[in-house]
């Protein structure tokens, strides 16, 4: 199964929070996109694994994402170790992506930072033919990185205009009824479920949009230079 873009999140709502507008934009442009959640989010203070699984699938549908899978790695214990690299590289080989989007480091959640190194290394190893799995060797051409909600560290490599898909992103995030701000859900109050966190989603999108002269934006990072064809001024 060949995908244009494989997007990894450490937890079921990471990709939607960090690059939901980009994913909706890719879907509208007929890119084949898969979200791979490393964990089922079983350590979350709110919601059950089954609730989160249903929410994640609903969010993916609202974003126009073709496929969403969960690798069932241990929530709270994501690590760049051989057993987890094998699972991630098997996923990369299964979906054969041209591009990968993965969590950026540093990040306040240990799983996010661990996922960054895990996915980077697994992508390299996925291209080695002497590692045998059920699918042929494959290495994505390019890796891009995102912060799920906090922009920590160096400035992003570039910012994507998501002004046309921001509303679609918000609609997708509302599917995470057990996790994000929802006064009707009877669960423990957490930072992510707070009204302040929900309002900060728009604040961040407006901040990055303002930096490139549009209404809403999402930042991405990469460790390789980007080529630009002239004329590039519009």
Q: Delineate the domains of the chain, giving CATH numbers in brackets.
A: 5-220 (3.40.50.10320)
Contact residues for 209 (Cβ-Cβ < 8 A; gap 6+): 159, 161, 162, 163, 215, 216, 217
Mean pLDDT, rounded, for 169-176: 97
3-state helix, strand, coil in the chain (%, to 5): 35, 15, 45
Structure-block tokens of residue 143: 């890796």
Query: 187-195: which pairs have CB atoms within 8 A and are 24 or more residues apart?
Result: 187/45, 187/46, 187/47, 188/45, 188/46, 190/45, 190/46, 193/46
Contact 226, 158 (CB under 8 A): yes
Phi, psi at 221, each rounded to 5°: -120, 150
Alpha-carbon distance of 189 to 196, in angstroms, equals: 12
Q: What is the mean pLDDT of the chain?
A: 94
Tell me the average pLDDT across 193-205.
Answer: 93
* Contact yes or no for 73/5 (Cβ under 8 A): no
The per-residue pLDDT for 151 is: 78
DSSP state of 137: -
Residue 234, pLDDT > 70, answer no
Flag whether pLDDT at 1 surpasses 70.
no
Q: Which stretches of the chain are assigned E, i.e. beta strand?
A: 5-9, 33-39, 67-73, 99-103, 142-146, 158-161, 217-220
Euclidean distance between CA atoms 190 and 19, whole angstroms:
22
The answer to whether 50 and 72 have CB atoms below 8 angstroms apart is no
**Tokens 């960054």 — which residue?**
116
- Residue 232, pLDDT score: 64
- For residue 2, pLDDT over 80 is answered with no
pLDDT in tens, 81-104: 999 999 999 999 999 999 999 999
pTM for this structure? 0.94
pLDDT value at residue 227: 85
234 vs 110: which has the higher pLDDT:
110
Is the pLDDT confidence value at 3 over 70? yes
| 104-114: average pLDDT | 94
**DSSP letter, residue 167:** H
Overall average pLDDT of the 217-231 stretch: 89
Percentage, residues of the chain above pLDDT 70:
98
Structure tokens given for 224: 């390789």
Per-residue pLDDT reduced to its tens digit, 129-147: 999 999 999 999 999 999 9
């Amino acid at each position: 199964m060949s995908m244009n873009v494989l997007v990894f999140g450490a937890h079921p709502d990471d990709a939607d929070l960090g690059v939901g507008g980009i994913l909706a934009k890719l879907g509208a442009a007929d890119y084949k996109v898969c979200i791979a959640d490393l964990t089922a989010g079983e350590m979350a203070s709110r919601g059950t694994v089954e609730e989160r699984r249903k929410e994640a699938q609903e969010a993916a549908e609202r974003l126009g994402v073709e496929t969403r899978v969960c690798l069932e790695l241990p929530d709270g214990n994501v690590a760049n170790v051989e057993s987890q690299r094998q699972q991630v590289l098997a996923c990369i080989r299964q979906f054969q992506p041209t591009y990968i989007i993965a969590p950026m480091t540093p990040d306040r959640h240990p799983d996010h930072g661990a996922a960054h190194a895990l996915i980077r290394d697994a992508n390299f190893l996925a291209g080695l033919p002497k590692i045998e799995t059920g699918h042929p060797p494959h290495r994505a051409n390019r890796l891009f990185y995102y912060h799920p909600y906090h922009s920590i560290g160096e400035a992003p490599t570039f910012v994507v205009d998501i002004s046309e898909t921001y509303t679609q992103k918000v609609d997708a995030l509302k599917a995470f009824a057990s996790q994000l701000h929802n006064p009707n859900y009877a669960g423990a109050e957490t930072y992510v479920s707070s009204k302040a966190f929900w309002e900060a989603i728009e604040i961040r999108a407006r901040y990055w949009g303002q930096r490139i002269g549009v209404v809403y934006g999402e930042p991405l990072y990469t460790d390789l230079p980007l080529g630009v064809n002239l004329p590039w001024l519009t």
